[in-house]
Structure formats: C-alpha cells, structure tokens
C-alpha cells in the first residue's frame, strides 16, 4: 500500500501539530512548577507524553504505508499565561483546533479514497472527544473553586495522581 502525496503531506503537518502540542504542554507544566503546583504540572507533563505518542503513531503509520516523514521546525509555543484558568482555556482552544485538523484529515482521506488512513484516524477523533471533555471539566471545576485555595489544593492533588499509560493510548 502506498499513501498519496497529498495525504502524506497532510499527515506530516498533523504530526507537527502533535509535536507543537507536546512543546506547548511542557511550557504549561513549567508555568505551574514555578509556583509549586506540581499536580497541575503533572497534568501537562502527561499531556506532553500523550502528544509525543500521537506524533510517533503518525510517524510509524506513515512509514507503514510507504510514506516518508520530513521533520520541519516547530513554532514556539505560547509562553505567557495570566492565570490557571487561562492556561486551561488556551488548552481547550488548542484541542479544538487539533480536533478540526483531524476532522479535515478524515475528509481528505475520504476524498482520496484512502480507507486505511480513514480507519487509522478514527482513534484520534475518539481521543480528541476525551481530551476536550477532560479540559472542559477542569475549567468548570476551576470556575467553581474561584479564589478558594483549599479547593485549589484538592484539585492540584487530584491532578497529581494522573499517570501516563502508553498501553491505553
């Protein structure tokens, strides 16, 4: 099986989005570590690991279907945040862009009659639904918490328990 050049180029672009996401989430983790919010930092460190795994899945898939990946530079992520909620709002907006990008890939796979890639991409759509829902939930919790430092401590503790499981990804 050989992937079309158009599909290959689009998947490579998506792979770069995933690498950008990993860098963005590392930046967010650093933002939280400077304030000793290790649970929030852990959330984004796990996110970064997941994004790297997504990029590697795409990298492997492209080679499995006869493609070739040319890695290009990754844009600098956003480095300025005004609050915890702001970080998660940026995250949600970013995840929505990723969801749209994957949806566009699915449309392209159908236009190209590339049913193997269409099937491959279904996992990513399911993953995006979960990602957006998770970030939405955290934003709602942050809004409920407001200025309550005890509640913020509890959410930080909850997020510290999140782990990366490459087998479930």
For domain 5-160, which CATH number applies: 1.10.1060.10, 3.40.50.720, 3.30.70.3270, 1.20.1260.10? Answer: 1.20.1260.10
pTM equals: 0.93
Cα–Cα distance between 134 and 166 in angstroms, integer?
18
pLDDT mean over 122-131: 95
Cα–Cα distance between 26 and 7 in angstroms, integer?
29
On the question of pLDDT at 168 being above 70, the answer is no
Mean pLDDT of the chain: 95
Q: Which residues of 130-163 are buried (b: 16+ CB within 10 A; e: fewer)?
A: ebbebbeebbebbeebeeeeeebeebbeebeeee
Cα–Cα distance between 19 and 45 in angstroms, integer?
13
């Amino acid at each position: 099986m050989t992937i079309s050049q158009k599909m290959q180029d689009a998947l490579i672009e998506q792979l770069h989005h995933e690498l950008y996401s990993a860098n963005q989430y590392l930046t967010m983790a650093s933002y939280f570590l400077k304030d000793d919010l290790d649970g929030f930092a852990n959330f984004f460190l796990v996110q970064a690991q997941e994004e790297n795994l997504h990029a590697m899945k795409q990298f492997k898939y492209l080679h499995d279907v006869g493609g070739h990946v040319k890695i290009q530079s990754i844009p600098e992520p956003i480095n300025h945040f005004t609050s915890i909620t702001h970080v998660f709002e940026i995250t949600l907006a970013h995840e929505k862009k990723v969801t749209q990008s994957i949806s566009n890939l699915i449309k392209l796979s159908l236009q190209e009659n590339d049913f193997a890639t269409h099937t491959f991409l279904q996992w990513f759509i399911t993953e995006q639904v979960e990602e957006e829902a998770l970030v939405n939930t955290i934003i709602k919790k942050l809004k409920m918490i407001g200025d309550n430092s005890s509640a913020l401590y509890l959410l930080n503790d909850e997020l510290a328990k999140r782990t990366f499981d490459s087998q479930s990804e």
